[in-house]
Structure 1
Amino acid sequence: MSGLAIGLLIALAVIVIALILLYRFGTKLQKRQEDAQSQMQANSQVVTMLVIDKKRLKLADSGLPKIVMEQTPKYARRSKLPIVKVKIGPKIMSMICDEKIFDLVPVKKEVKATVSGIYIMDVKGIRGGLEAAPEKKKGFFKRMSLKAQKKVDELNAEAKKK
Structure 2
Amino acid sequence: MCEGLRARGFRLTPQRLAIVRLFSGDCSHPTAQDLFARLRPAFPTMSFATVYNTLDALAQAGLSSSLRLGALSGLGAATRFDPNTEPHHHAVCDRCGAVVDLPVDSLAAPQVDARTVRQSQGFRVRTVETIYRGTCAGCTGRPSLPPLPNVTPEA
TM-score (norm 2): 0.25
**Which of 1 and 2 has greater Rg?**
1
Structure whose residues are more often strand by fraction:
1
Structure whose residues are more often helix by fraction:
1
TM-score (norm 1): 0.24
